[in-house]
Chains A and B, each alone.
Chain A
């Protein structure tokens, strides 16, 4: 059954950029209050604060926190804040849209000097999978423990085609996305009795600050522009719209999926 989002709360990890930022706006447009977590240096933090004020002007509450989403301390500090802001109910929408990882290959570049294009290090692999993959689990654990994931809540995690395919320089992030998708399936099953749906959103190639950081992204952009059957790249608005739509129901039956929001891009070669 359709249930309006007005007056409910969304918890968005990665709210200062790309998909998280746009989805915050779309949810706020639908009357949903926003608790946003982001991790930025001073310059980015000021921009995020301005964005939170702009969301507030849409007539909702918007509270942003500049914290490392993967840090235990951040969860310890913010879970009580989430409880207070949502009056003990918890968020109806949780979005994990965290882009912080090492972009490199698994092996040193052939012919390149070892120090120019070195192989990925254990530190880099561990950090990337922890931030972009495991952090979803730890947040869900703490929200469940605090009884802040109510029946009807929707959890979304942003993945990409790179979770199952190979892009040069994307290897650690690819591992993180594959991990994230596995976590989504297991969380979906474990949370099914509580009526909480968990899905991954596999966006098509979308021009975001995170995409720009991928080595060779211009080539990927040009290629996807050409092959996308919809005749254009995916936009952050496409993803935001999908999340608002999927969140506007009290049904928890759509769960455990990797949902493509890409205009059919992944279906064509």
Chain B
């Protein structure tokens, strides 16, 4: 994915938001850490992350998309693509 598509969404801000929701130290939320398998995130916590993303970035996330919120890197791409569209 080219950089310009994710330029509007600051990766570090996004990392901070997710770390806060997961109640984890920033350094554990690496770009590649898998929320479910590495960080022990259940579907309800994933839903909380999704609701916060919608609020902060004024985007809409579909229920089916929650399962695809796997790593910070992927969430960054998804959020950036949605911000781009709005």
| Cβ–Cβ contact A41 & B43, under 8 A | no
| C-alpha spacing A71/B21, complex, angstroms | 11
CA distance A39 to B63 in the complex (A): 12
Contacts of B17 in A (CB 8 A): none
CB pair B42 A41 closer than 8 Å:
no
Contact between A123 and B63, CB atoms less than 8 A apart: no
User: Whole-angstrom distance from the CB of B35 to the nearest CB of chain A?
Assistant: 11
Establish whether residues B48 and A71, one from each chain, have CB atoms under 8 Å apart when the complex forms: yes
* A69: nearest chain-B partner, CB-CB: B44
Q: How far is the CA of A208 from the CA of B84 in the complex (A)?
A: 35
Smallest CB–CB gap between A210 and chain B, Å? 13
**Smallest beta-carbon distance B83→chain A, Å:** 14
- Asked whether A70 is an interface residue with its Cβ less than 8 Å from the other chain, the reply is yes
Q: How many of chain A's residues have a CB under 8 angstroms from any CB in B? A: 16
- Which residue of the partner chain A has the closest CB to B59? A42
Chain B, interface residues (CB within 8 Å), range = 10 to 19
Given the complex, which residues of B lie within 8 Å of A105, measured CB to CB?
A: none
- Chain A residues lying within 8 Å of B48, measured Cβ to Cβ, are 68, 71
Contact among A40, A43, A66, A131 with B44 in the assembled complex (CB-CB below 8 Å): A131
* Contact partners of B59 in chain A: CB under 8 A: 42
Are B50 and A41 in contact, CB atoms less than 8 angstroms apart?
A: yes
Contact at B43–A66, with CB atoms within 8 Å? no
Q: A109: shortest Cβ distance to chain B, in Å?
A: 19
Q: Which of A42, A71, A126, A131 contacts B61 (CB 8 A)?
A: A42
Contact B51–A100 (Cβ < 8 Å): no
Specify which chain A residues have a CB less than 8 angstroms from the CB of B62 in the assembled complex: 41, 43
B-side contacts of A242, CB under 8 Å: none
Q: Given contacts A41-B63, A42-B61, A43-B60, is CB(A123)–CB(B42) below 8 Å? A: yes
Is residue A245 within 8 Å, beta carbon to beta carbon, of the partner chain?
A: no
- Choice from B40, B44, B54, B60 contacting A100 with Cβ under 8 Å: B44
Q: How far is the CB of B18 from chain A (nearest CB, A)?
A: 16
Q: Does A124 contact B (CB under 8 A)?
A: yes
Task: For residue B42, give the distance in angstroms from its CB to the closest CB of chain A.
Answer: 4
Instruction: Please indicate the chain B residues that have their CB under 8 angstroms from the CB of A40 in the complex.
Output: 51
* Distance from A195 Cβ to chain B, minimum over Cβ atoms (Å): 34
B44 touches A70 (CB 8 A): yes
Does A127 touch B at the CB level, under 8 Å? yes
A122-166 CB contact bits vs B (8 Å, 1 = yes)? Answer: 011011000100000000000000000000000000000000000
Q: Is A205's beta carbon under 8 Å from chain B?
A: no
A33-50 interface (Cβ within 8 A of B): 39-43
Residues in A neighbouring B54, C-beta threshold 8 A: 41-42
A102 on the B face (CB < 8 A): yes
Pick from A66, A70, A124, A131: contact of B51, CB under 8 Å: A66
Which 3 A-B pairs rank lowest in CB-CB distance, beginning with the nearest?
Answer: A127-B42, A123-B42, A42-B54
Show 6 residue pairs from A and B whose CB-CB distance is below 8 angstroms, ordered by the A residue. Answer: A40-B51, A41-B54, A42-B54, A43-B62, A68-B47, A123-B40
Chain B residues with CB under 8 Å of chain A are: 40, 42-44, 47-48, 50-51, 54, 59-63
